[in-house]
Amino acid sequence: MEMFWYLPTMGDGRYLGTSRGAKITDLHYFRQIAQAVDRLGYTGMLVPTGHACEDGWIVASALIQATERLKFLVAVRPGGISVSIAARMAASFDRLSSGRLLINVVAGGDPVEMRGDGIFLSHGERYEVTDEFLEVWNKLMTGESVTFQGKHIQVEGAKLQYGPFSRQSPPLFIGASSEAGHDVAAKHIDTYLTWAETPAMVSEKIADVRERARQRGRSIKVGLRVQVIVRETSEEAWDAAHKLISHVTEDDVNEAQSLLHRFDSVGQRRMSQLVHQHRNDLEISPNLWAGIGQVRGGVGTALVGSADEVAERLQEYADLGIDTFILSGYPHLEEAYRIAELLFPRLPVTYSAPPEETKWVAMGELLAENRKPKP
């Protein structure tokens, strides 16, 4: 198992629904988390995206020199940025970090947010854009000069002057629950991500994505995004879960669910449906609790229990074919330590080796910004 952590650039604290116990989420705090996660043995860290967050590329870039092994899973939004500009950003980050970049392909989710960013595309159109974007992206990353005329994307003579660390695209991740999303994953993606639903629901999604990939002659890895509330005993863990939402009111839940209802993300709708269907008993399967999803978008489920219980549940997901786990917990600095202490010794965790250093070559300035100077 490879264990990732989550950087809370949209805010952090001990409780949901209140500023009591909140953290100051500035660069110093992000650096604390990144360095702790790096030392504890997590493989990577998800840097979130969206209007509720600090910009992921700026934050991740600021943390390169504060870390040694940690990989950064940073979002690219195909509908909101030029493919060649995004590829240049990614290639530079990948070289400067000695190959520690992972790409989280985000097709969208909240139509209101996307319209604010100038994106006026339907759910299906966004995946059409994503498909075209990744076709051009992968060619650029291998050094091709690309001319492409698609339905949504057109480039002429696009090329990277400076390629990524390994002369190929950093590994691509995507979280998607729709058929269109599964098709894009099967065609382009290295690791398919799902939020933590019941094992039966997750198993069904994995089987569908892998079958679509098999039909294209590809294989695909699978990752799980889940919150974790783990303590030495089950009673302590459930007490911590209830404390986490102790300041959340019925009005908070109703307002949050109303806002989340406007999302056209199939994954978000599935999360919201789990909360709605289990409103009177939020433990939707053994040790899987949907209490966070009452007021939080994205992954709203948490594994709650003793170290042995949570380790067993994670192993059950691993037995479905999942080998990458993106974990989080409130507050994120303290819980990164707690989870590493209680869970890592109970699981077959794979620790990342130090990256190879980038081999820099003195070249000089490009002639007319296009041709490399003679040796």
**Per-residue confidence (pLDDT) for residue 172, from 0 to 100:** 98
How many Å apart are CA 360 and CA 375, to the nearest integer? 15
Contact 103, 76 (CB under 8 A): yes
- pLDDT for the residue numbered 298: 86
Residue-wise pLDDT tens digits, 179-228 = 999 999 999 999 999 999 999 999 999 999 999 999 999 999 999 999 99
Q: Which residues of the chain have pLDDT under 70?
A: none
> Per the confidence metrics, is the pTM higher than 0.85?
yes
- pLDDT of 271 reads 84
**Which residue carries 């057109």 as its tokens?**
154
Burial of 177 (0-12, 13-18, 19+ CB in 10 A): buried
CATH topology of domain 2-228+302-346: TIM Barrel (3.20.20)
pLDDT for 47 equals 98
- Which pLDDT does position 257 carry in this prediction? 87
CA 169 to chain centre: 17
Neighbour count for residue 267 (Cβ, 10 Å): 22
